[in-house]
Chains A and B, each alone.
Chain A
Amino acid sequence: MIWHIFKKDWKLLWGFVLAVAFLHMMGALVQFKLGLFGEEPMLEMLSRWVPELAIFASAFLIAAIVHLDAVPGSRQDWLTRPIPRGGLLMEKLLFAIVMVEGPIFAASLGLSLANGFSWRASLLSTTAWSTFLLFFLVAPILAFASVTKNMAEAFIYGCGGAFVIGSFLILVGSWNALMHGTLLGATHTGLGWVAEVLRLALTAITAGIVLRLQYLRRKTAVARLLLVGLGVVLLVSALVPWKPVFALESKLSANAGAGAKTRMSFDPSEGRFQSPSGVAAPGESDRLRYGRNTADVFLPLRITGVPNDGILMVDQADVHFANESGREVYHGLGESFEVAREGPQPPEEPVYQRIELPMATMRRAQDQPLGVRVEYSLTQFRLSKSYALPAVDGEERMPGWGWCKTKVNDAGTDVELRCMEPGKGPICGTAFLENASSGARNPARSFCLSEYRPFQDHPWPDDLTHLGVNLPFRDATGLAKYPIEGAQLRSSQVVIRVYEPEDHFTRTLTIPAVRLREWEAE
């Protein structure tokens, strides 16, 4: 019976199915043609629009599948027919899997294979991604469509929902800005995945309940109420606080205690932060551009205990300033930063904690002695692998890192390194130019993300992770000199060092008294 209904739906939707499949194939083709460097502007534009269009078209297709035998309403002929409701639900799911997910799976697998990845790696990542899409995109849209009578109703409710969500996010975003970033907690951070897992699980469970309620019992009012309730919970979940989430992440550390030797202290001997000549201090350009009414304070820090070939990442710096009477004059988030200890004798470079303060707070408190407490949430990364490939026109396939290529940019100033990996891909690495014979090396560029989610979660454009970094070897202004310059490029290599997070831990920095005026950038 399922197959019989399936054939009917195919007869009615084959054009739509083929159009959406074509969009997915087009998207994959564009991504493939774009390659690692993505220099073709037209393809670049298409690579952004086509996958988005394809995913929206897929959402409409899923709704159309459901609306062929709409559940709400009392005019549908099928309601009076001896059609098993459970069978109909199974057919809708099957049709969505085959006709919506099928093309996505095929396009993604094809793209991965065309890019030279193995069948095993391609199948694994594509299957994982498709499963993610099934539970967290296809099933929820099926559920949503099942409480609407037709596409117009689904569209209106969808727009209404988007408006409510958008308004909420704007409201919360403004509120968060007023609270100096402390309201949103773990949302939009590398720990956002904890709440996201809960959100996704709730979404999948609710979708399952709604589909059962609708197809087996036709309880549209209850199902709609459930979806609204889910929406409210999802919105409120944006306010999940940071500390419990980071505590959970700490429990999941791969090598708990590895960061035990790490110490952080205030080190006034480093002196005030000095912007490099001709370069605005961090945040200064934003302030100039957007007219932000803020002031930056840079607290010099001494950080010890980071092991060689280790990176310390500040996931969050929760800053409190209190006056002499103990009253809090400021609470907000400081800028995150990282400290890398790379190479045999890594230099101890000064580290500054940047804190952006409202100008009014700065004016009011700049000459008072203030007590400072900074609660750091930290992650220590350890070196796991190291790769090298020629600095010019190099190409390597590196397990755990992916397929990489290098080339010199058109301006002749940087070596461009671009990589691609099926699935989630690496989250932290450094790359630098090295002359293997002389041992000379340029400063490393880090591309570490405070991003610890264990799964690939984006619904488009595909299941491939793209990484890229530019390694400068010549400064067009002539201000900077590099150990490895253009002439040595042919005999140099790009070294990639891959880091894995091993320990998540907290440290608290307490400074009895500072005067903010003394720690503004010079």
Chain B
Amino acid sequence: MIEAENLWKSYGRFQALRGLSFSVPEGSAFAMIGANGAGKTTTIKVLMNMLEPTRGSARLLGVDSRRLSVRELAQVGYVSENQEMPARLTVEEYTAYLRRFYPTWDRELEGAIARQLRLPLERRIGHLSHGMRMKLALLCALPYRPKVLVLDEPFSGLDPLVRDEFMEGLLGQAGEMTILISSHELSEIDGVATDIAFVDEGRVLFQESMADLAKRFREVRVTLAGEAARPSHAPREWMAVQATGNVLTFVDTQFDEREIGERIRARMGDVRVIDSQPMALRSIFITLARAARDGSA
């Protein structure tokens, strides 16, 4: 449905994308996460043919992004935090303008979404708040029931109430859509994404399903008999290793309940208690981001 293969994008000397690759399975809700400047927005703009890649290719609905035609675009919804819409048209005028371009536009659905999002139809787009504009972008992306919905930082700058309304509007219509969502608002993605890719400095560090990710990341707390010290050669899969008193904590990125006790005892000797806790996506992201920043990812 959506693929990127060895994507490179340069702005002068700055390389925004450096061989980024990923693949979005059909019907999934695929989240691209990464810090600001990691390359998420650039990736999406290349996918939508708003930017041309310097090297590599991206495919949307099986078509090279550089050759997206009216036919493909009529099946793709796009919502972005910095989307520029005609400021002097009203919400109603703009949706009326867009209707004609989509053969599958459902006016009833449009009305339902507008009511659900509580959008002021007669207000000019230029007079809408940021949150309202995001909701308008969503309103303009859903009534034609796109096969693919691309959301670029959709929660950025939204207050909790608007965010909830936005999510309700989105989830209410998600259906069979394939969703690509980029965000650093991890708490929102947590409940939506089925698959995830972690992007850092223009590359995908890993891509996997949320279920697998949640399974393999654990925050481990080891209580030792004596004073704990940071192991000089900690395994690569241990991140954020810290020692306080007789307690050693770390994030195990390859957690296996059957092997963890044995592995720790082999390294640390006399262990009193081993406690492992599942991690929220936000914690996983922060751990990975810090590790990437420190060069140990």
Residues of A at the B interface (CB closer than 8 Å) are: 1, 4, 8, 11-12, 68, 73-77, 79-84, 218
Task: Name the distance in Å between B168's Cβ and chain A's nearest Cβ.
Answer: 23
Q: Closest CB of chain B to A216's CB: distance in Å?
A: 12
How far is A18 from B45 in the complex, measured between Cα atoms in Å?
37
Contacts A74-B45, A76-B84, A77-B83 hold; do A11 and B93 have CB atoms under 8 A apart? yes
Interface of A is mostly: loop
Q: Report how far A83 CA is from B98 CA in the complex, Å.
A: 9
CA distance A95 to B11 in the complex (A): 35
Instruction: Report if A80-B50 is in contact (Cβ < 8 Å); known contacts: A11-B93, A12-B89.
Output: yes
CB distance from A147 to the nearest CB of B (A): 16
Across the interface, which residues of A come within 8 angstroms of B100, CB to CB?
Answer: 1, 4
Check B51 for interface membership: any CB of A closer than 8 A: yes
Q: Mark B99-118, 1 if CB is under 8 A from A, else 0.
A: 01110000000000000000
A77–B45 Cα gap in the complex (Å)? 12
Mark out the residues of chain B between 66 and 98 whose CB falls within 8 Å of any chain A CB in the assembled complex: 70-71, 73-74, 76, 78, 80, 82-86, 88-89, 93, 97-98
B2 in the interface (beta carbon within 8 A): no
Given A11-B89, A75-B82, A79-B50, 12 other A-B residues pairs in contact with their CB atoms under 8 A = A1-B101, A4-B100, A8-B89, A68-B86, A74-B50, A75-B50, A77-B84, A77-B85, A80-B48, A82-B70, A82-B101, A84-B70
Of the listed residues B71, B84, B102, the one surrounded by the most CB atoms of chain A closer than 10 A to its CB is: B84
Query: Whose C-beta in chain A lies nearest to the C-beta of B88?
Result: A12
Chain A hits for B88, CB < 8 A: 12
Cβ of B49 within 8 Å of any chain A Cβ, yes or no, is yes
**Given A12-B88, A77-B84, A82 and B73 contact (CB-CB distance below 8 Å):** yes
Closest A residue, CB atoms, query B97: A8
CB distance from B125 to the nearest CB of A (A): 10
Q: From B82, which residue of chain A is reached at the shortest CB distance?
A: A75
B residues contacting A by CB (< 8 A) are 45, 48-52, 70-71, 73-74, 76, 78, 80, 82-86, 88-89, 93, 97-98, 100-102, 137, 140
Q: Which residues of B contact A68 (CB under 8 A)?
A: 86
Shortest C-beta distance, A385 to chain B (Å), equals 56
**A83: chain B residues within 8 A (beta carbon):** 70, 101
Tell me the smallest distance from the CB of B253 to a CB of chain A, in Å: 35
Most chain A CB atoms below 10 A, which of B73, B74, B86: B86
Residue of A nearest to B45 (CB): A74
**Bound-complex Cα distance A77 to B101 (A):** 13
B48 lies within 8 A of A79 (CB): yes
State whether B70 touches A74 (Cβ < 8 A).
no
A309 to B105, CA, bound (A): 77
A79 to B150 alpha-carbon distance, docked (Å) = 14
CB distance from B45 to the nearest CB of A (A): 5
- Beyond A4-B97, A8-B97, whether A80 also contacts B76 by CB under 8 A is yes
CA of A82 to CA of B98 in the docked complex: distance in angstroms?
9
Q: Which residues of A contact B76 (CB under 8 A)?
A: 80
Contacts of B70 in A (CB 8 A): 82-84
Residue of B nearest to A8 (CB): B97
Residues B73 and A80 in contact, CB atoms below 8 Å apart? yes
| Interfacial chain A residues near B140, Cβ < 8 Å | 77
* Contact call A79/B49, Cβ cutoff below 8 A: yes
Interface centre among B82, B93, B97 (most CB of A within 10 A): B97
What distance in Å separates the Cβ of A235 from its nearest Cβ neighbour in chain B? 28
Q: In the bound complex, what is the Cα–Cα distance between A75 and B74 (angstroms)? A: 18
Report if A81-B98 is in contact (Cβ < 8 Å); known contacts: A11-B89, A74-B50. yes
Q: Do A75 and B84 touch (CB < 8 A)?
A: yes
Report A95 CB to chain B, min CB distance, Å. Answer: 15
Nearest chain A residue, comparing its CB with the CB of B50: A74
- A75-B82, A77-B83 are known contacts. Are A82 and B102 too (CB-CB below 8 A)? yes
Contact call B97/A74, Cβ cutoff below 8 A: no
* Residues in A whose Cβ lies below 8 Å from that of B89: 8, 11-12
Please give, as numbers and ranges, the residues of chain B lying within 8 Å of A76 by CB-CB distance: 50, 84
A-B pairs with beta carbons under 8 Å apart, 7 shown: A1-B101, A8-B93, A75-B83, A80-B76, A81-B101, A82-B70, A218-B52
What residues of A have a CB within 8 angstroms of the CB of B74 in the complex? 82
Q: Output the nearest chain B residue to A68 by Cβ-Cβ distance.
A: B86
Q: Which residues of A contact B80 (CB under 8 A)?
A: 75
Question: Which residue on chain A has the smallest CB distance to residue B69?
Answer: A82
Residue of A nearest to B140 (CB): A77
Smallest Cβ-Cβ distance to A15: which chain B residue: B88
**Min CB–CB distance B197 → chain A (angstroms):** 21
Residues of chain B with a CB closer than 8 A to A12's CB: 86, 88-89
Q: Given A1-B100, A4-B100, A75-B84, are A82 and B71 neighbors across the interface (CB < 8 Å)?
A: yes
Name the A residues within 8 Å of B48 (CB-CB): 79-80
A75 to chain B: which residues have CB within 8 Å? 50, 80, 82-84
Which residue of the partner chain B has the closest CB to A87? B70
- What is the chain B residue whose CB lies nearest that of A70? B84
